[in-house]
């Protein structure tokens, strides 16, 4: 049975990083994936132009989804899920376009999916085998503290709150995902959905060179804690009713 696997790469204002990402993609055999789909989230720089140029010149099977407004990282994920369901994709691989994760780890994650057929693989920056380059001590300690809180309330070790490299079995994703938050902390709902399913934590390498984080640390921390308490006391995911229709073009 052919299991269809597609890589989705959300992009927002990352034209500088795309040059390195394109080079890494072209040097790597990724024919095991059906497609590589970039999701451009209404960037204010030349991200879209770079993506279209790469699509025309690449040896890979490339598509570009261009949002007509910024729907947040959660909105980009919803577009990926919608594409998967409309095109019978079995596994959704999620790889951030700012190129802080590595293509080598993407291939390792693919191998894990093939061997173990999990519901989810979460890439973790904080396992003992993980390596971080130029990652701030403040963010490191903050992540460890919130992960400890999540582990305490969920009664299981939580090893990541939302990195830029994950894989999801599409059939295991919630059908009401359109009503999930669009903000960057939407990853918390994915944790709540998958932590009791067949989930694998995989150590990944994380490199920060010239990337600019779109996350406001204190706001994201507040959202993560709020969503945890909401889930713990009600056993329900947080719904913010961000189910506006997303307008986009597919190239």
Residue 212: its pLDDT value, please? 58
Position of tokens 């969920």?
A: 154
How many angstroms separate the Cα of 173 from the Cα of each of 3, 76, 119? 16, 15, 9
| Whole-angstrom distance, CA of residue 87 vs CA of residue 90 | 9
Domains assigned to the chain: 5-250 (3.90.550.10)
Separation of alpha carbons 182 and 71, rounded Å = 7
C-alpha 84/C-alpha 29 separation (Å) is 22
What pLDDT score was predicted for residue 247? 55
**pLDDT tens-place string over residues 112-163:** 999 999 999 999 999 999 999 988 888 899 999 999 999 999 999 999 998 9
Give 36's contacts (C-beta < 8 A, 6+ positions apart).
6, 7, 9, 25, 30, 60, 61, 62, 63
d(CA 100, CA 208): 6
175, with CB counted inside 10 A (0-12, 13-18, 19+), is exposed
- Write down the pLDDT at residue 235: 72
pLDDT, mean of each 10-residue run, the chain (251 residues): 91 94 93 96 94 92 93 92 96 96 97 97 96 89 95 96 95 88 83 94 90 66 88 74 58 63
- pLDDT score for 22: 94
């Amino acid at each position: 049975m052919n299991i269809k696997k597609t890589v989705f790469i959300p992009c927002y204002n990352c034209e500088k990083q795309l040059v390195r990402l394109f080079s890494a993609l072209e040097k790597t055999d990724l024919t095991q994936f059906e497609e590589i789909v970039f999701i451009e989230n209404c960037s204010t720089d030349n991200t879209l132009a770079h993506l279209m140029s790469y699509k025309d010149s690449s040896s890979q099977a490339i598509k570009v989804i261009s949002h007509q407004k910024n729907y947040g990282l959660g909105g980009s994920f919803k577009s990926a899920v919608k594409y998967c369901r409309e095109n019978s994709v079995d596994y959704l691989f999620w790889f951030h376009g700012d190129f802080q994760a590595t293509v080598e780890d993407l291939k390792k994650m693919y191998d894990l999916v093939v061997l173990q057929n999990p519901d989810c693989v979460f890439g973790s920056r904080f396992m003992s085998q993980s390596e971080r380059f130029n990652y701030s001590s403040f963010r490191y300690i903050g992540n460890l503290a919130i992960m400890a809180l999540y582990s305490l309330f969920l009664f299981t070790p939580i090893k990541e709150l939302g990195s830029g490299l994950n894989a999801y079995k599409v059939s295991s994703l919630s059908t009401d995902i359109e009503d999930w938050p669009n903000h960057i902390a939407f990853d918390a709902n994915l944790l709540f959905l998958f932590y009791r399913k067949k989930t694998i934590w995989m150590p990944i390498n994380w490199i920060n060179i010239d990337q600019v984080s779109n996350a406001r640390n204190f706001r994201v921390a507040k959202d993560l804690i709020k969503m945890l308490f909401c889930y713990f006391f009600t056993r329900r995911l947080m719904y913010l009713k961000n189910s506006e229709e997303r307008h986009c073009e597919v190239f």
